[in-house]
Amino acid sequence: MRPNIVIVMADQLAPHWTGAYGHGVAKTPHMDALAARGMRFDAAYSNSPLCAPARFAFMSGQLISRIAAYDNAAEFRASIPTFAHYLGALGYKTCLSGKMHFVGPDQKHGFQERVTTDIYPADFAWTPDWEAPDERIDSWYHNMSAVTEAGPAIATFQTDYDDEVEYAARRWLIDRGRDRAGGDEAPFLLVASYMHPHDPYVAKPEFWDLYSDDEIDMPAHVLPLDEQDPHSRRVLDGIEASDITLSDDEIRRARRGYLANVSYFDSKLGAMLQALEDIGELDNTLVLVTADHGDMLGERGLWYKMNFFEPSARVPLIIAGPGAVPGVAPNACSLVDILPTLVDAVGGTPDMFGAPIDGRSLMPLARGEEDPVDEAIGEYCAEMTGYPVFMIRRGNLKYVHCDPDPPQLYDLAIDPEERVNRAADPAYADAAAAFADEVRRRWDSEQLRADVIATQKSRRALHAAMEAGPPEHWDYNPPRDASNEYVRNHIDWDVAAKRQRFPRWDGSGDG
């Protein structure tokens, strides 16, 4: 029997802030339990530490430079195959509940059902301008209000959204249980993708109250402005942090709010696992937990993402269920590996791929086998830079390159907080030279920059035209036919009651 697949995805979740990855205070019981019965990947990376590009790489198994998924307003073309397409072709029922930040008129990308709208706009409004890289776009660029306004709240638009995502995903899973009761054994793929713990760091009181200020630690390594590398300085300027001095109380409350929202996300994971248990499919479901990127949370003085330091670029990745064994995988990997992993897990083969795949299957690692590959590749081509930023993580070394900036090389085995740039260290001269040569061979940075600027110009022109005419929205509006729901004149009450009751009544009085 082919396994079901359920992917539970967070937004902006740094693995360092979960109990499953060793945080001493984080309350994440569901993720901890899943990691205990599955494989925890300790060097999983975002291929581009920004929402939409990371998600497009995740869905397609391709690097963002290959598919022009440069930023949060880059179109995800309908011609790009995704793992939803491939699993659908293999007979899976497929569904997306929640955020995937699809940009463009195709808002399903292979999912047969999409049961919620998205939380962010689907048009070209958020297009950056690399020809004016120092220009802020106040309507959507980050600023520091997410830090300074941290605290508890009964509701926010983000909690409204995530509660809807949970309800819709759980209902879809219960319907799969109803299908099973009716004799339909088709396997299913569900992606339940939540907004939290993405800033702002505002949490429901019951999660805020899980923590206290005195147990929240402060950033371990903070650099003054004059010691920041050039890209970090650009990010600090872009998020308006260069001219703001945060108090310790503000930093602590923001980190407390983030932890609270990590626990909130963990509760959503628990709801998905409980739904699988309720329909009797937990043991036959491969469950993956991951995120699109992490969050700096004041480390190095930085906030949010948009760089390749560990808190921003690392993501959690846990695989548990059929074919996975308990353990820890140290190999570097990334979100582009998810597509070949899923296809491998359900019995598909690479000959079905309709496009080049930049990732590899992680199922050998999930099974506890050896994997000779220990590598992750990153590319950043969005706001707060004017040139592509590249990252290569191989073994214990991480190399970061951007044409106008000095290179960065970190040895994570002895310097996990990335305090010492070893690019000019004579002891690492051979490694630094080899990485620099690899960057030149892998990428034509000037051509990629020209390509990015060209798409930015075309998208801004199209957005201006769309704004000038009658409104044309690409935002997904989930279809609903209320006339065929619940009990209607053409639907027999007894038939509806029997179909929708789960588990079905067996006449015994016990269920």
16, 101, 142, 198: the catalytic one is 101
Structure token pair of residue 457: 């110009």
Q: Which two tokens stand for residue 429?
A: 């001269």
Per-residue pLDDT of the chain (511 residues; tens, 9 = 90+): 899 999 999 999 999 999 999 999 999 999 999 999 999 999 999 999 999 999 999 999 999 999 999 999 999 999 999 999 999 999 999 999 999 999 999 999 999 999 999 999 999 999 999 998 777 776 667 788 999 999 999 999 999 999 999 999 999 999 999 999 999 999 999 999 999 999 999 999 999 999 999 999 999 999 999 999 999 999 999 998 888 899 999 999 999 999 999 999 999 999 999 999 999 999 999 999 999 999 999 999 999 999 999 999 999 999 999 999 999 999 999 999 999 999 999 999 999 999 999 999 999 999 999 999 999 999 999 999 999 999 999 999 999 999 999 999 999 999 999 999 999 999 999 999 999 999 999 999 999 999 999 999 999 999 999 989 888 899 999 998 999 888 888 888 888 888 888 888 777 656 5
- CA atoms within a 13 Å half-sphere pointing along the CA-CB vector of 230: 14
Give domain status of residue 75, yes or no.
yes
Calculate helix-pair angle for 248-278, 29-36, nearest 10 degrees. 60
Only one residue has tokens 């990732």, namely 359
Structural domain tally of the chain?
1
Query: Has residue 511 been placed in a domain?
Result: no
CATH number at residue 57: 3.40.720.10
Q: Indicate the pairing of strand 333-334 with strand 44-45.
A: parallel
Look at residues 333, 302, 403 and name the one whose alpha carbon lies nearest to residue 57: 333
| 488 inside domain | no
**Could you tell me how many residues make up the chain?**
511
- Of the residues 51, 95, 333, 402, only one is catalytic, namely 51
Domain span holding position 268:
4-368
CB 355 within 8 A of CB 63: no
Residue 218 within a domain:
yes
Residue 373 lies in a domain: no
SS3 380: strand
237 in a domain, yes or no?
A: yes
No. of helices (H) and no. of strands (E), the chain: 15, 16
CA distances from 44 to 56, 232, 285, 463, 496 (A): 16, 22, 22, 35, 46
- Is 470 domain-assigned? no
Is 51 annotated in the active site? Answer: yes
Tokens linked to 349: 């083969």
In this structure, are residues 262 and 197 in contact, taking their beta carbons and an 8 Å threshold? Answer: yes
Q: Is residue 312 part of a domain?
A: yes
Cβ burial 319-328 (10 Å sphere, 16+ → b, else e): bbbbebeeee
